[in-house]
């Protein structure tokens, strides 16, 4: 039996994230089922592991606050960042289809997560089948973002890759309410960007300086400001799609 975790003082029906228009509303009985399914909360510091690579975990998570990223490493230590994670993202489902985690998840900032027991996932689906659909939808949404990443790293040049990533993270952060005075938090260094885009650190540095020199964006004091969104979108071949409200588990 997994160890007990600290009890979250906030019930799922009164979760502050649920007031965000980015997230889909749920019926009271669905919220009560999620609350009963939740085992506790976990707080991690920036740089700490949420999920350790190649180790089985009894937990799945919803990121409540902060930033994280999912990654894989090669035997020589080279790292590929697969996807960046923001509040509301559901983490750890992939292990249901593999023996142990084939990836790791690391907190990019101090982060708080809602924790659920993996072995009770089917119990939740049985109680509220619509929640099973919601989790399937979240998995399909993440797969779509991974498809975009494959196209970016396979077909876009360095400037296009950086432009695409900056616009993607900016719009996602904006949507979940992180925008302040025209900028969003950007807790990532150039190594994170290089590892996400398959570029060398030197090439990443030169590309960021080139785009900033053109007046397209500015990264300063841990925040990202897009100065010329249309130009950056055009450069990255980034298309705004109609936004759909996201289920929040």
pLDDT tens by residue, 15-33:
889 989 999 999 999 999 9
- CA distance linking residue 93 with residue 77, whole number of Å: 24
- CA distance linking residue 48 with residue 83, whole number of Å: 17
> Could you give the C-alpha distances from 219 to 29, 44, 170, 225, in angstroms and in order?
43, 25, 11, 6
Give the pLDDT band (50/70/90) at residue 9.
Answer: low
- CA distance linking residue 35 with residue 52, whole number of Å: 26
Query: What does pTM read for this prediction?
Result: 0.91
Q: Residue length, the chain?
A: 249
Give the pLDDT band (50/70/90) at residue 56.
Answer: confident
> Mean pLDDT across the stretch 176-187?
95
In three-state secondary structure terms, 211 is helix
For the chain, give the mean pLDDT: 91
Name the residue among 110, 109, 111, 83 with its Cα closest to residue 187. Answer: 109
- Could you identify the residue written with the tokens 């965000």? 20
- CA distance linking residue 99 with residue 56, whole number of Å: 7
For residues 138 and 247, is the Cβ–Cβ distance under 8 A?
A: yes
In three-state secondary structure terms, 26 is coil
Q: Which are the contacts of 33, defined by CB distance < 8 A and separation ≥ 6?
A: 124, 127, 128, 131
> Mean pLDDT across the stretch 120-140?
91
Domains by residue range for the chain, with CATH: 12-131 (2.60.120.10), 149-236 (1.10.10.10)
């Amino acid at each position: 039996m997994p160890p007990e975790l600290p009890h979250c003082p906030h019930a799922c029906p009164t979760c502050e994230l649920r007031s965000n228009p980015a997230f889909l509303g749920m019926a009271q009985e669905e919220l009560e089922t999620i609350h009963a399914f939740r085992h506790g909360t976990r707080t991690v510091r920036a740089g700490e592991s949420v999920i350790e690579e190649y180790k089985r975990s009894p937990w799945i998570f919803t990121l409540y606050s902060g930033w994280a990223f999912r990654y894989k490493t090669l035997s020589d230590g080279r790292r590929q960042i697969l996807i960046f994670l923001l509040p509301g993202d559901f983490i750890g489902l992939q292990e249901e289809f593999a023996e142990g985690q084939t990836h790791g998840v690391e907190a990019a900032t101090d982060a708080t997560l809602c924790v659920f027991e993996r072995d009770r996932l089917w119990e939740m689906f049985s109680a509220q089948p619509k929640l099973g659909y919601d989790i399937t939808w979240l998995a399909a949404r993440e797969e779509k973002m991974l498809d975009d990443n494959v196209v970016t790293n396979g077909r876009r040049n360095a400037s296009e890759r950086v432009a695409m990533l900056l616009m993607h993270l900016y719009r996602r952060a904006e949507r979940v309410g992180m925008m302040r005075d025209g900028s969003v938090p950007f807790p990532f260094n150039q190594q994170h960007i290089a590892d996400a885009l398959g570029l060398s650190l030197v090439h990443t540095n030169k590309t960021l300086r080139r785009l900033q020199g053109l007046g397209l964006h500015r990264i300063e004091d841990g925040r990202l400001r897009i100065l010329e969104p249309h130009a950056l979108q055009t450069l990255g071949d980034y298309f705004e799609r109609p936004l759909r409200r996201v289920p929040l588990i």
